[in-house]
Structure 1
């Protein structure tokens, strides 16, 4: 009866905080980076180097953050994370030296792990494990608009304010909008648990992977997501200049802009028609679409329809991949310890993905674009094989079990 119930209020609140979280802590950086470089006396490459290092260190912190979600609750971690995000944005805005700026950017990335998808997915699993997979789909649909909203907002604000002043505005958004919403979700969760001590039986999801195969399954899934994350991050970091370099000129920007809407479209399609697809099947499909996009670009070169198909396939695959990152661990390993499981996977994915832009740039320079794309497609193909192996080893459906709390 409650199988498809979705906690709409919590999903809506998290949707708003994800748009602000990704918009202020991630997407705005590429718009504001030139101003940061000029102000601090750095090259643009050096500013992005600091950002890459922060992504790597943020990835390493994901396992610890995940454990804390299991220990004190994901919504509690998100509430603390919103305050930390606001403080580090303010620190970044104040930073009088390159050293303090670098520390602030690293702290910013650590706080990102406390408020973005990894934490939001865990909060949904805590709220209602039974409907979490559907809730994750709804949430990623809303969150997919972060770049669409914050790229133009950041660009518009930069016409009137310095990057430091913009970061202070963003600090206010995290402190006065996101923090109260995360605190409300935390209070709702605690109230639900403590309302009636006589009714404290909570349903949990028991994973499809047998306990003795859990460690092997986690390694395989982490490996698959890390490889696919590398494939995607390498392309995305260079997509517009790469398309321009093969002769698409000004059209490269327009083609690149198709990626975001395609991400949202894939989540909408999955929300409406994807009920019959299991999370392992979604993971395989996301990897196939991303690799297919790379192969289309390889085959069609500067042919405009081919480049359009490449951007759309990449966006569709990326959109489904975001859903799979939340729903596949729940499906395979269950809701108990979900925060730590997803934390370990995020650590592997982010640590590997942090080096992707640099490695792909070096590959393009030394072996040429075509061979770099072939190598990238091969890594993606390995991730497909890994996800297929995961799907084959998890034929058993997850079960709902009562857990007395």
Structure 2
């Protein structure tokens, strides 16, 4: 095994730990802790998830800058600063005396997310070893997929003994004591990426192997960003509300148990992709992953002859599989079509569109859930997911035409 291969495998292991912690502390725990926050601040679900939507929106706004900085400074350095920012934001949330301070503090956690979550982590792997990056990205998502499986039960258990404020303090400690050292170590391994040069020659030799011709790049980028935006709207809406929605459709206390199927399903889909993924293009996996999401929602809308628990288990399995594959193709599809030149910037642009659209999902979904019930919310989310499938089919058509 070459030195570069050993370094990239070590980076995957370290990033796996930091991604589990970062997604768990900044994303997955919120739906579990939200009722306690709402009770203390006397705010409804809509208010809480409006604030949480603000974190996704600010993350989308910051993403293009985080991508460019990852290319210019090295992705490891960007992640190091991000873990510090995440810890500070969590501390401010924990110490916020009232809603008027807590809500803006919660939104500031979104500033940290583009710097420490998948986008920049993928850029780390591309900068360490561009050739092995697609397989390493799959391996990283395989490990990080356990974040929800660990943090949903963890947050539920911690709430029995601690307040949400004390839990946030604990989460800030995880960012400082575990994520920060990992990211600092990675900063010594990463290097700057080649920057995008729009004015560069259109000669195919100037582009990475397998990337799209220059003439097709802009259209492909717009379509890919749109496809991921539709899919992420459906994903974001349900990921934040997964346990409460399962309870609302009638599972009651079994909702958390069924929700834990989501993580292993993510793991299973990523494991299959790691073993068999070389047989399929990144675009084919993108279409499949996006289609699994609305199909999962339909499992919770099956008519009465189908037992609710059976539909819920099928939902958790399909939704986990779709989410697991979606996380992979967010990194591998841009790399396959555009190459590694300016990878961080391209990923940042796609993420900006994706997060800006999906930032509205938790609030809209919470509103529909409260006003019209879980079945209406699931049906609307399924429709949006189907729009994502159609968009990726349009990308496939564009790619075929580009190579004819």
C-alpha offsets along residues 195-216 of structure 1, whole Å, 9 cap, x if unaligned?
xxxxxxxx99445211111111
CA contact (8 A) 1:40 1:97 kept: yes
CA contact (8 A) 1:21 1:115 kept: yes
Distance apart, 1:241 and its partner CA: 4.5
Per the alignment, residue 341 of structure 1 pairs with 346
CA contact (8 A) 2:70 2:120 kept: yes
Query: Which has the larger displacement, 59-68 or 252-261?
Result: 252-261
| CA RMSD in angstroms, aligned pairs only | 3.0
Query: Which has the larger displacement, 130-139 or 38-47?
Result: 38-47
Query: Which has the larger displacement, 162-171 or 261-270?
Result: 162-171
5 Å matches for 1:237-386? 237-300=240-303, 303=307, 304-363=309-368, 373-386=378-391
Distance apart, 1:98 and its partner CA: 2.4
Q: Provide the C-alpha distance between the structure 2 equivalents of 1:45 and 1:363, rounded to a whole number of angstroms.
A: 10
Per the alignment, residue 117 of structure 2 pairs with 116
1:98 and 1:207, CA in 2 relative to 1: closer, same or farther beyond 3 A?
A: farther
1:257 and 1:176, CA in 2 relative to 1: closer, same or farther beyond 3 A?
A: closer
Per the alignment, residue 198 of structure 1 pairs with none
Per the alignment, residue 71 of structure 2 pairs with 70
TM, length-normalised to structure 2: 0.86
1:83 and 1:204, CA in 2 relative to 1: closer, same or farther beyond 3 A?
A: farther
Q: Provide the C-alpha distance between the structure 1 equivalents of 2:105 and 2:63, rounded to a whole number of angstroms.
A: 17
Q: Is the partner of 1:394 in helix, strand or coil?
A: helix
1:273 and 1:255, CA in 2 relative to 1: closer, same or farther beyond 3 A?
A: same
**Mapped pair 1:173 → 2:174:** yes
**Aligned counterpart for 1:235 among listed residues 230, 234, 238:** 238
Q: Provide the C-alpha distance between the structure 2 equivalents of 1:11 and 1:373, rounded to a whole number of angstroms.
A: 35
CA contact (8 A) 2:80 2:183 kept: yes
C-alpha offsets along residues 286-315 of structure 1, whole Å, 9 cap, x if unaligned?
012223223344344553433322221111
Q: Is the partner of 1:189 in helix, strand or coil?
A: coil
Distance apart, 1:364 and its partner CA: 5.7
Distance apart, 1:367 and its partner CA: 6.8
1:101 and 1:360, CA in 2 relative to 1: closer, same or farther beyond 3 A?
A: closer
The runs of 5 or more residues in structure 1 that have no matched partner are: 194-202, 399-405
1:100 and 1:361, CA in 2 relative to 1: closer, same or farther beyond 3 A?
A: closer
Query: Which has the larger displacement, 11-20 or 295-304?
Result: 295-304
CA contact (8 A) 1:208 1:332 kept: yes
CA contact (8 A) 2:210 2:336 kept: yes
Query: Which has the larger displacement, 176-185 or 160-169?
Result: 160-169
The runs of 5 or more residues in structure 2 that have no matched partner are: 195-205
Per the alignment, residue 199 of structure 2 pairs with none
Q: Provide the C-alpha distance between the structure 2 equivalents of 1:94 and 1:366, rounded to a whole number of angstroms.
A: 32
CA contact (8 A) 1:18 1:117 kept: yes
Per the alignment, residue 82 of structure 1 pairs with 83
CA contact (8 A) 1:88 1:108 kept: yes
TM, length-normalised to structure 1: 0.86
Q: Provide the C-alpha distance between the structure 2 equivalents of 1:173 and 1:237, rounded to a whole number of angstroms.
A: 21
